[in-house]
Amino acid sequence: MSSPFKFEVNHQAAANGPRTATFNTPHGPVRTPAFMPVGTYGTLKGLTPDQIRATGSTMILANAYHLHLRPGHETVRELGGLHRLMAWDGPILTDSGGYQVFSLGHRCRIDDDGVTVKSVLDGTQVRLEPARVMEIEAALGADVAMAFDHCPADPTDRAQVTAASCRTHRWLDRCVAWHRAHGGEDRGQALFGIVQGGAFEDLRRASVEAVCAHDLVGYAVGGVSVGEDRSSMAAALAASVPYLPADRPRYLMGVGTPRDLFDAVALGVDLFDCVTPTRHGRNHQAFTRSGKLNLRNLRWRESTAPIDEDCSCYTCSHYSRGTLRHLCKAQEMLAGTLLSIHNLTFFHDLMAAMGRAIENGGLGELRSQYAAAVEG
Amino acid sequence: MSSPFKFEVNHQAAANGPRTATFNTPHGPVRTPAFMPVGTYGTLKGLTPDQIRATGSTMILANAYHLHLRPGHETVRELGGLHRLMAWDGPILTDSGGYQVFSLGHRCRIDDDGVTVKSVLDGTQVRLEPARVMEIEAALGADVAMAFDHCPADPTDRAQVTAASCRTHRWLDRCVAWHRAHGGEDRGQALFGIVQGGAFEDLRRASVEAVCAHDLVGYAVGGVSVGEDRSSMAAALAASVPYLPADRPRYLMGVGTPRDLFDAVALGVDLFDCVTPTRHGRNHQAFTRSGKLNLRNLRWRESTAPIDEDCSCYTCSHYSRGTLRHLCKAQEMLAGTLLSIHNLTFFHDLMAAMGRAIENGGLGELRSQYAAAVEG
């Protein structure tokens, strides 16, 4: 049986430079560079699948750890799997929970085999081990399952990062073994490995080597955008991305801002995810080429202009800044929905523009057109 | 200039019996009997205009009092009026605030000329008088403006009801004078009068007479569904509705449940509004022919059935009860949106079914098909 996954580079001017590609999954193709919106509990907050699709989303992300806690992965399986639950027939990727468990301050006890964490819902002990996480992700049934990794809380603490990398590699062996033993990609679910190594170039290089020793459908760079400064992040990326196999999708986890996206796309990263557009939307911030707008600002009270004259999203086609300000001030839930729609459209439009710019050799020029958004 | 409003009765088997009609407004026709969803602050909570329209809504209601407080009626005018604010190009009706001011427990001082009320937003004094309310509603620019009335808090207190009716009639004179002096219907806005009279048949009859002395585009019955028992409400309706002009739309304000709708349609009422479908939706209750469902109930945990197999709404086409239960339990805002969509569709489908039944002489049979919903 041939793999239902295929990655085709469409355009790449130079080795280790920016590229456009198509990542084919059992639920359709993803044109990269692409941004994946985050639907932690099986929905983007406040958006229906029709609204999500209209923003330009193709592949979306959900969190295996959260869905394991609620409603439970077996319940999701009984309900027909994550695609049915999310009413999303496009590609889905599930994060394994490594980031949530280690970085979001849950009380957890870690050992060489896994982690014991107290559920935020009811205080019960939850045990996560590589095989268990694979089992959870298999029950959810996303197109891509992320390996269970250890994301160190402080990427500048060498001892901590070393230990986390070692665990990540050992756990990846177990994830791969479980995945192979359960049909591999033929089951319709690919496994992506995750590179760690914190802010240390040698540890990043070593982690790339260990992770890429496994022949996987795709590879991710984890442990960035966890609070480190910009130069540490740049160094971590420079020591990771160029060494990942050129013929596989490269996914930078949890990133990011327009600036981060330009930086990483220039290095040849294909996939991204971040809560930024939806979370900022719920907080009444709108992304534009001219920088972020705070829609609660008094200056928009009687503004009949849309957020962005050139944006074709539902929000910009139907609502003025003045109306949006009113909806924000009145704390109407529709405000979060409308601003999430605009922000996701902004991010997807940006990625599509990057793709065209890569094919026309004008990525630098595009970045200068987005200068205010990049600096914001 | 001929009036942009026209009311045509399409079918009526017997005088003072149920009827179907078309109420033509500057923003299009409303086929009655019709249910108007409530968008207090200029939006139905959590629904875009496209979603609202897809439920079958034609005319929607907004609250002049709330919009006067926030964002302010002059601001709404600057933003292009209520149709632009709501991004709704269909008919809109604005409630005048009489009900809100007197019945929702705001601290207010009433006199013969109007009412002084403390803003719930910032504690400032707001003065409402008939001409002022007409001015506010004119600035908002809905197709129908309701007259400023006095809705008594206790419909069984004869002295209170008598005083409120007298004020309502005196204030209606002033509303009519203001409306005439400012172009009448030719401006594109009709004025509806409101009958009061509480639970007293003679006061209801007297109020109908006083209100209908004015030649208005439509007439409403107010002061019902304010906590009185079912027989008081039935008596109030029986003493009001049959005496309203047969060639004008009849609007029963703030009603109601499927049972109330069947009762009032049988008497010849054409228009209704209520927060029930959207408020119940946000509280995770779904209306069905078999009665209300609580979507938080454990029994739906692994249910792959939609809320209603026969419902064609977006929610029933895309989501199982199990998924909806998960979204409710996870307190996802999407749950409120999806259940509001279903409930509004249920209400509009019910009104459309009533219209067909009226034309086929089978309203009683339809009611028995909805017996569980009527009893629920």
Per-residue pLDDT averaged across A362-372, rounded?
96
| Catalytic center residues of B | 95, 273
Give backbone dihedrals phi and psi of B246, rounded to 5 degrees, phi first: -70, -20
Tokens of B104: 């929702």
| Range of lowest pLDDT (B39-48, B86-95, B108-117, B128-137) | B108-117
Same domain, residue pair A19 and A69: yes
Residues of A in CB contact (< 8 Å) with B are 41-51, 70-71, 75, 78-80, 84-85, 87, 301-302, 304, 314, 318-320, 322-323, 325-327, 329-330, 332-334, 336-338
B154 compared with A171, residue with greater pLDDT: A171
DSSP letter for each residue of B287-307: EETTEEEETT-GGGTT--S-S
Mean per-residue pLDDT of chain B: 95
Element of type H or E holding A234: helix A230-238
- Would you place residue A168 in the very low, low, confident or very high pLDDT band (cuts 50, 70, 90)? very high
Same domain, residue pair A264 and A332: no
Examine the fold and report which residue of B204, B239, B274 is the final residue of a domain before the chain moves on: B274
Same domain, residue pair A299 and A263: no
Is the pLDDT at B135 greater than 70? The verdict is yes
Residue A360 burial class via C-beta count within 10 angstroms: exposed 0-12, middle 13-18, buried 19 and up = exposed
Tokens of B334: 């999407």
Examine the fold and report which residue of A274, A292, A310 is the final residue of a domain before the chain moves on: A274
Q: Has residue B2 been placed in a domain?
A: no
Let me know if A273 is a catalytic residue. Answer: yes
Q: Which range of residues forms the domain containing residue B203?
A: 9-274
Residue pair A5/A24 in contact (Cβ under 8 Å)? The answer is yes
Q: Per-residue pLDDT tens for B8-47?
A: 999 998 888 999 999 999 999 999 999 999 999 999 999 9
Same domain, residue pair B265 and B294: no
What pLDDT was estimated at residue B214?
98
Per-residue pLDDT averaged across A87-95, rounded?
98
Q: What is the largest CA-CA distance in chain B?
A: 62
Same domain, residue pair B323 and B246: no
What is the nearest CA distance from A216 to chain B, expressed in angstroms?
32
Residue pair A34/A351 in contact (Cβ under 8 Å)? The answer is yes
- On chain A, the residues whose CB falls within 8 A of the CB of B85 are 323, 326
Tokens of B50: 């496209």
Residue type for B133, please? V
Q: Kind of pairing, strands B190-195 and A19-25?
A: unpaired
Q: In chain A, how many domains are there?
A: 2
Per-residue pLDDT averaged across A59-74, rounded?
96
What pLDDT was estimated at residue B105?
62
What pLDDT was estimated at residue B251?
98
- On chain A, the residues whose CB falls within 8 A of the CB of B329 are 70-71
Residue pair A128/A109 in contact (Cβ under 8 Å)? The answer is no
Examine the fold and report which residue of A254, A274, A294 is the final residue of a domain before the chain moves on: A274
Q: Has residue B3 been placed in a domain?
A: no
What is the nearest CA distance from A45 to chain B, expressed in angstroms?
6
Q: Pick from B46, B70, B326: which is nearest to A329 by CB?
A: B70
Q: Per-residue pLDDT tens for B294-314?
A: 999 999 999 999 999 999 999
Q: Per-residue pLDDT tens for A280-313?
A: 999 999 999 999 999 999 999 999 999 999 999 9
**Which residue in the list A149, A263, A273, A308 is annotated as catalytic?**
A273
How are strands ordered across the β-sheet holding B6-12? B6-12, B19-25, B28-32
Is the pLDDT at B106 greater than 70? The verdict is no
Residue in chain B lying closest to A338 (CA):
B48
User: What distances in angstroms separate CA B358 from CA A112, B228, B289, B343, B371, one per listed residue?
Assistant: 73, 29, 19, 22, 17
Q: Has residue A66 been placed in a domain?
A: yes
Alpha-carbon distance B354 to B366, whole Å?
7
Residue pair B230/B260 in contact (Cβ under 8 Å)? The answer is no
Q: At a CB cut-off of 8 Å and minimum separation 6, what does A279 contact?
A: none
CA-wise closest residue to A165 among A132, A214, A199, A215: A199
Three-class SS state of A208: helix
Same domain, residue pair B140 and B289: no
Residue pair B312/B346 in contact (Cβ under 8 Å)? The answer is no
What is the nearest CA distance from B279 to chain A, expressed in angstroms?
13
- On chain B, the residues whose CB falls within 8 A of the CB of A332 are 41, 43, 45-46
Q: At a CB cut-off of 8 Å and minimum separation 6, what does B279 contact?
A: none
Q: Has residue B66 been placed in a domain?
A: yes
How are strands ordered across the β-sheet holding A125-128? A108-111, A114-118, A125-128
Same domain, residue pair B83 and B160: yes
What is the pTM (predicted TM-score) of this model? 0.96
Same domain, residue pair B345 and B270: no
User: What distances in angstroms separate CA B233 from CA A101, B119, B157, B271, one per listed residue?
Assistant: 57, 31, 14, 17
Alpha helices in A319-370 (DSSP H): 321-329, 333-360, 363-369
Q: Has residue A1 been placed in a domain?
A: no
Contact call for A330 and B49, based on CB within 8 A = no
Element of type H or E holding B146: strand B144-146
Tokens of A32: 């990269």
Same domain, residue pair A311 and A264: no
Residue pair A54/A41 in contact (Cβ under 8 Å)? The answer is no
Per-residue pLDDT averaged across B76-103, rounded?
93
Q: Residue B191 is part of a domain; what is its CATH number?
A: 3.20.20.105
Q: Has residue B233 been placed in a domain?
A: yes
Per-residue pLDDT averaged across A127-153, rounded?
96
What is the nearest CA distance from B337 to chain A, expressed in angstroms?
8
Give backbone dihedrals phi and psi of A5, rounded to 5 degrees, phi first: -110, 140
Angle subtended at Cα A75 by Cα B322 and Cα B281, rounded to the nearest 5 degrees:
20
Q: Has residue B1 been placed in a domain?
A: no
Mean per-residue pLDDT of chain A: 95
Characterize B294-332 residue by residue with b for buried, 16 or more Cβ atoms within 10 angstroms of its Cβ, and e for exposed.
Answer: ebeeeebbbbeebbbeebebbbbebbbbbbbbbbbbbeb
Same domain, residue pair A16 and A63: yes
Alpha-carbon distance B301 to B299, whole Å?
6
Per-residue pLDDT averaged across B155-181, rounded?
97
Half-sphere exposure of A84 (CA within 13 A, CB side): 19
Q: Has residue B228 been placed in a domain?
A: yes
- On chain B, the residues whose CB falls within 8 A of the CB of A78 are 302, 304, 322
Residue in chain B lying closest to A335 (CA):
B46
Q: Pick from A48, A50, A334: which is nearest to B43 by CB?
A: A334
Same domain, residue pair B245 and B291: no
Residue pair B376/B288 in contact (Cβ under 8 Å)? The answer is no
CA-wise closest residue to B199 among B156, B167, B163, B160: B156
CA-wise closest residue to A336 among A302, A286, A299, A376: A286
Same domain, residue pair A202 and A153: yes
